[in-house]
Amino acid sequence: MNDQTHPKSARMGGRAARRAARAAKLADHLRPIRPGLTGGAFRPLTEAQMRRIHTAALELLETVGLADAPASGIAALTAAGAELGADGRLRFPPALIEETIAGANREITLCGRDPAHDLHLGGSRVHYGTAGAAVHMVDVDGRSYRDSTLQDLHDAARIADRLDNIHFVQRPMVPRDIPDPFEMDINTVYACVSGTRKHIGTSFTEGAFVGPALEMLHLVAGGEEAWRARPFVSNTNCFVVPPMKFATESCLVMEECIRGGMPVLLLSAGQAGATAPASIAGAIVQATAECLAGLVYVNAIRPGHPAIFGTWPFVSDLRTGAMSGGSGEQALLTAGCAQMHGFYDLPGGAAAGIADAKLPDMQAGWEQMCSNVMAGLSGLNMVYEAAGMHASLLGFCHESLILGDDLIGQALRCVRGIEVTDENISVEVIREVCLEGPGHYLGTDQTLGLMQTDYVYPTLGDRSSPKEWEELGRPDLLARATARKEMILADRAPARLSAEIDREIRRRLPIRLPT
Amino acid sequence: MNDQTHPKSARMGGRAARRAARAAKLADHLRPIRPGLTGGAFRPLTEAQMRRIHTAALELLETVGLADAPASGIAALTAAGAELGADGRLRFPPALIEETIAGANREITLCGRDPAHDLHLGGSRVHYGTAGAAVHMVDVDGRSYRDSTLQDLHDAARIADRLDNIHFVQRPMVPRDIPDPFEMDINTVYACVSGTRKHIGTSFTEGAFVGPALEMLHLVAGGEEAWRARPFVSNTNCFVVPPMKFATESCLVMEECIRGGMPVLLLSAGQAGATAPASIAGAIVQATAECLAGLVYVNAIRPGHPAIFGTWPFVSDLRTGAMSGGSGEQALLTAGCAQMHGFYDLPGGAAAGIADAKLPDMQAGWEQMCSNVMAGLSGLNMVYEAAGMHASLLGFCHESLILGDDLIGQALRCVRGIEVTDENISVEVIREVCLEGPGHYLGTDQTLGLMQTDYVYPTLGDRSSPKEWEELGRPDLLARATARKEMILADRAPARLSAEIDREIRRRLPIRLPT
């Protein structure tokens, strides 16, 4: 090549220069991906279709309404302007809905215990995390299912704490070894809080259990005031039993959480074809109507209380009636719901990343990516159940959670999208390479600069050539995930709670996780 | 429930009614997915950004141009209005480009040998198929790689012929057991044509090999006129060596194909960070410029000849320089290119569905889905390399091809999107279920109607519950794919070519595939 002595050759240093460039640590805002990247380039619904869904939801709220509100809810909602019918259903005049939307809290911060993990919901900013109520653990090595335990849950929190692309830790599974509902709820909070400094989501069986949980959270936060200033746990609240009925007990839980300063996820989890209409549009209409009712409820109790619009419609396999969270229909439902959150300009969340596959196999990969990337591209604020979920939410898998970090990293790169700038349009770079340069871009300044800021590299995803792969002994993806799991869990990092606080919590509450 | 004697109970027949409904065969236009569904809801580029990419491409064509055109190409292109510089590069005035775009063929039919498989390119209509030049076969059972053979290629064509969601069969791998380039090209065509009645794509090493291939195709078609009326093979033509150089020999192949009536895929396969700019926008600019030059070339030889705008930029892993077809950056490149095809209103194609993973494991699943679904959502007419591709195009896998049918089926469901109609908005259904009906949607008319027309069911994808899965003996996804492969290949269906035509082809040409 005739440019060996070209003054520019110093910057064409090839492999060594690339290595050096990669060694420098990037500032957070320069990282190629991060929590809160803005999505929204995927819009399966037109403006007119969204308006139509909204109108249909208003019509349902006005004419069908919701049954089964508790007495306290009926009092608050009728005081706000809802009407209680002779059939016991609360109906909502359109004006009440519109006023509620206008006045609702639209920029919510979900705090981490560590402020570095704060999530700023709103707009089309996308965050991924765990969620669910799996009852099984997937044993990858034995290719089998067993009951999930408190230790499994704690380990999941510890693993998620270490994964860059898992932005929050909503409880993904139920500790089956703690049968008492009160102990289960308390230990669930403890297992998560002692495992991660990221934002946590959890649910409560009864309103009476919220108080003791808050007692623990006050201890962890350093007092009630500190907790209320930065609540790092939110309440996943299944406030409806679709179609169009309030879940009486969950509503009471919600009221307690609101009073305790805990953000609420208004979770409407209908299942298209079973507890919601089988049509995608119809399932979105129903979920939207239910969440609007929930939003009125929250704001009737405490105006402006942080609430996440949780339209989580699921999908049935209509051949069997069983849930199919891994389907394309699910991905569309979730993306359509994300657009409705944008339509209302309300912070929202929905489910994605669920596999129907029982194991972290190829099917799991395509199912988890399909809905995760579409959720992100549609600008969903909170992508729940995004990693580790198998068997349509019945099974959770630590290895899958770890691989999900790579999978979601790739989805986030897609959410970030394509920038077009004076510089990266590259006319000058192309001209120089073609007319003056070496005829390739391997060592150009642009290439070296972009390799850190624009490209995402998987942690476990294998990009070796077949030859390298042979030489490496044909590494197995799941075995590598297990190895990483063991490395994370073997790390005796400083306990997440101080010994003093931990002792005090254990003195007051029946904590079952060993110290 | 109090509606046991309700007059509507007859239509709430549950499982039996659902089974009966499913037994009826649907007309093609009612199937939930089919070739040519319209995408375009995902738009990673704004109109202004696309215009800017176009302007940059025009500037490059005018000022940098392309080197290395063959003499015949120089003659045709200068006659059309391009300018040959003293540096041997052909430069293209913007007006020539704009005129070419305006006059190009924008609605192309890629014929199948069976007209039922015709693909009508244009708009944002999406089709998925195989492509590539893999040199290895992935042996799933042995978890290993070996050289690909002519029989592997033929088997791939036979398998693809049976998969509903593989809409065309571009040659995905190279028969390594046929070292002679002429014999390789001829046998490649034969192995595909004798394996499938879907549209076929192939490439030729030299212009001189096109004639004998056409001789074979005329025999298969029943004469030259019949071939020219419905050409069922297109030429995958790597007419450029990026950056910005014509591939001299491939251009001569292209001229032969155009004269022979064979549609041309103008394939620009730069690699971002190596033979194309590392920035996504820059790689799209360069690919767009190169394909515009190719389009001028085709139309200079024969105005209106069917050509596919094949902006296929690939991605480097900038740490190693190796290709990473499974990355999020790849998915964005392909989706951005699809938008540029729409910007020009030209039939286009690009690569998606490539796995970096060596085996059909979870990584392969998420990589293949990511780019496949984003390509479809962006409205790419021809999604090439959509199934079976591993190790960044170095390996092809029959089992993965078969699983790809499920994966692409799901992607197509997402491409179809969300319909919003008077009926499926479901206000009446919801009202009835909540106020009069059984409180669920399991057996409603709507549910029974939509289960066939709106829902896609995987063939091998497993949706069983953990309990059912245990009872079924924990079926392994790959073992099931192997079983389906063996079933397809064991089926001694009528030979794809008549014995008479086959004999005549073998008399004239050195066919190496056993009869």
* Chain B from 223 to 252: CB within 8 A of any A CB: 243-244
How far apart CA B385 and CA B375 sit, in angstroms, is 12
Q: Does domain B101-416 have CATH number 3.40.50.720?
A: no
Whether the CB-CB separation of A194 and A154 falls below 8 Å is answered with yes
Q: Mind giving me the DSSP string for B152-206?
A: HHHHHHHHHHT-TT--EEE--B--TT--SHHHHHHHHHHHHHTT-SSEEEE--SS
Q: List the single residue in A with minimal CA-CA distance to B48.
A: A420
How far apart CA A262 and CA B191 sit, in angstroms, is 65
**Closest to B296 in 3D by CA, of B334, B330, B338, B254:** B254
Q: List the single residue in A with minimal CA-CA distance to B470.
A: A144
Amino acid at B418: I
Q: List the single residue in B with minimal CA-CA distance to A396.
A: B466
* Chain A from 89 to 118: CB within 8 A of any B CB: none
Looking at the complex, report in whole angstroms how far the Cα of residue A274 sits from the nearest Cα belonging to chain B.
Answer: 5
> B364, A364: Cβ pair inside 8 Å?
no
E-strand ranges in B325-400 read: 349-351, 382-384, 389-390, 395-396
Taking the Cβ of residue A455 and every Cβ of chain B, the question of whether any pair is shorter than 8 Å is answered with: yes
CB atoms within 10 A of CB A125: 21
Taking the Cβ of residue A21 and every Cβ of chain B, the question of whether any pair is shorter than 8 Å is answered with: no
> B53, A420: Cβ pair inside 8 Å?
yes
> B420, A49: Cβ pair inside 8 Å?
yes
Looking at the complex, report in whole angstroms how far the Cα of residue B425 sits from the nearest Cα belonging to chain A.
Answer: 5
Give the tens place of pLDDT for each residue, B301-359.
Answer: 999 999 999 999 999 998 998 999 999 999 999 999 999 999 999 999 999 999 999 99
In the beta sheet, which residues pair with residue B120?
A: B109
How far apart CA B334 and CA B340 sit, in angstroms, is 10
Q: pTM value?
A: 0.95
What pLDDT, on a 0 to 100 scale, did the predictor assign at position A9? 39
Residue numbers in A near B402 (CB within 8 A): none
How far apart CA A373 and CA A305 sit, in angstroms, is 30
pLDDT by residue for chain A (515 residues), tens only, comes to 333 333 333 444 455 655 555 555 667 778 899 999 999 999 999 999 999 999 999 999 999 999 999 999 999 999 999 999 999 999 999 999 999 999 999 999 999 999 999 999 999 999 999 999 999 999 999 999 999 999 999 999 999 999 999 999 999 999 999 999 999 999 999 999 999 999 999 999 999 999 999 999 999 999 999 999 999 999 999 999 999 999 999 999 999 999 999 999 999 999 999 999 999 999 999 999 999 999 999 999 999 999 999 999 999 998 998 999 999 999 999 999 999 999 999 999 999 999 999 999 999 999 999 999 999 999 999 999 999 999 999 999 999 999 999 999 999 999 999 999 999 999 999 999 999 989 999 989 999 999 989 999 999 999 999 999 999 999 999 999 999 999 999 987 655 799 999 999 999 999 999 98
For strands B109-110 and A271-272, give the pairing.
unpaired
> B368, A367: Cβ pair inside 8 Å?
no
Per-residue tokens: B305: 């000849």
> B277, A429: Cβ pair inside 8 Å?
yes
Residue of B29 and B414 predicted with greater confidence:
B414
Looking at the complex, report in whole angstroms how far the Cα of residue A210 sits from the nearest Cα belonging to chain B.
Answer: 31
Taking the Cβ of residue B470 and every Cβ of chain A, the question of whether any pair is shorter than 8 Å is answered with: yes
User: What is the distance of C-alpha B38 from the center of its chain?
Assistant: 15
E-strand ranges in B85-152 read: 90-91, 109-110, 119-120, 125-130, 136-139, 144-147
| List of residues 6+ apart from B441 with CB closer than 8 A | A243, A272, A273, A274, A275, A276, A277, A278, B429, B433, B447
3-state SS string over A250-302? HHHHHHHHHHCCCCEEEEECCEECCCECCCHHHHHHHHHHHHHHHHHHHHHHC
Instruction: Give the pLDDT band of residue B9 (cuts 50, 70, 90).
Output: very low
Burial A143-163 (b: 16+ CB within 10 A, else e): ebbeebbbebbbbbbbbbbbb
Per-residue tokens: B161: 């012929």
R_g (Cα) of chain B, nearest Å: 25
Whether the CB-CB separation of B147 and B393 falls below 8 Å is answered with no
3-state SS string over B266-335? EEECCEECCCECCCHHHHHHHHHHHHHHHHHHHHHHCCCCCEEEEECCEEECCCCCCECCCCHHHHHHHH
Amino acid at B430: I
Three-state secondary structure call for residue B256:
helix
Residue written as token pair 């003791």: A212
> A434, B244: Cβ pair inside 8 Å?
yes
Amino acid at A13: G
DSSP state letter for B8: G
> A420, B369: Cβ pair inside 8 Å?
no
**Domain extent listing, chain B:** 101-416
Instruction: Give the pLDDT band of residue B496 (cuts 50, 70, 90).
Output: confident
How far apart CA B340 and CA B380 sit, in angstroms, is 10
Amino acid at B377: L
How far apart CA B202 and CA B204 sit, in angstroms, is 7
Residue written as token pair 């096109």: B210
Cis peptide before B277 (omega within 30 of 0): no
Taking the Cβ of residue A4 and every Cβ of chain B, the question of whether any pair is shorter than 8 Å is answered with: no
DSSP state letter for B493: P
> A442, B321: Cβ pair inside 8 Å?
yes
Residue numbers in A near B398 (CB within 8 A): none
What pLDDT, on a 0 to 100 scale, did the predictor assign at position A14? 54
How far apart CA A413 and CA A377 sit, in angstroms, is 10
Taking the Cβ of residue B340 and every Cβ of chain A, the question of whether any pair is shorter than 8 Å is answered with: no
How far apart CA A67 and CA A148 sit, in angstroms, is 34
Amino acid at B489: L
Best to test chain B binding among A64, A369, A389 (most B CBs inside 10 Å)? A369
Taking the Cβ of residue B280 and every Cβ of chain A, the question of whether any pair is shorter than 8 Å is answered with: yes
How far apart CA B354 and CA A301 sit, in angstroms, is 52
> A441, B364: Cβ pair inside 8 Å?
no
Looking at the complex, report in whole angstroms how far the Cα of residue B98 sits from the nearest Cα belonging to chain A.
Answer: 19
Residue written as token pair 């809080």: A193
> A274, B451: Cβ pair inside 8 Å?
no
> A276, B441: Cβ pair inside 8 Å?
yes
Q: Mind giving me the DSSP string for A171-224?
A: --B--TT--SHHHHHHHHHHHHHTT-SSEEEE--SSGGGHHHHHHHHHHHHTSH
Residue written as token pair 């499926």: B424
DSSP state letter for B246: B
What phi and psi, each to the nearest 5 degrees, are found at residue A395?
Answer: -125, 140
> A369, B366: Cβ pair inside 8 Å?
yes
> B60, A427: Cβ pair inside 8 Å?
yes
Q: List the single residue in B with minimal CA-CA distance to A414.
A: B328
Whether the CB-CB separation of A106 and A306 falls below 8 Å is answered with no
In a 13 Å sphere around the CA of A508, the CA atoms on its Cβ side amount to 16
Looking at the complex, report in whole angstroms how far the Cα of residue B343 sits from the nearest Cα belonging to chain A.
Answer: 16
* Chain B from 352 to 381: CB within 8 A of any A CB: 356-370, 373-374, 377
> B52, A444: Cβ pair inside 8 Å?
no
How far apart CA B280 and CA B332 sit, in angstroms, is 8
Taking the Cβ of residue B403 and every Cβ of chain A, the question of whether any pair is shorter than 8 Å is answered with: yes
Torsion, Cα A75 A76 A77 A83, to 10 degrees, reads 30
In total, the C-beta contacts within 8 angstroms joining chain A to chain B are: 425
> B441, A60: Cβ pair inside 8 Å?
no
Mean pLDDT highest for which of A443-457, B202-216, B483-497?
Answer: B202-216
Whether the CB-CB separation of B338 and B308 falls below 8 Å is answered with no
Nearest to A420 among B143, B281, B367 (CB): B281
> A282, B425: Cβ pair inside 8 Å?
yes
How far apart CA B222 and CA B229 sit, in angstroms, is 11
User: What is the distance of C-alpha B437 from the center of its chain?
Assistant: 46
Taking the Cβ of residue B147 and every Cβ of chain A, the question of whether any pair is shorter than 8 Å is answered with: no
Predicted complex ipTM: 0.95
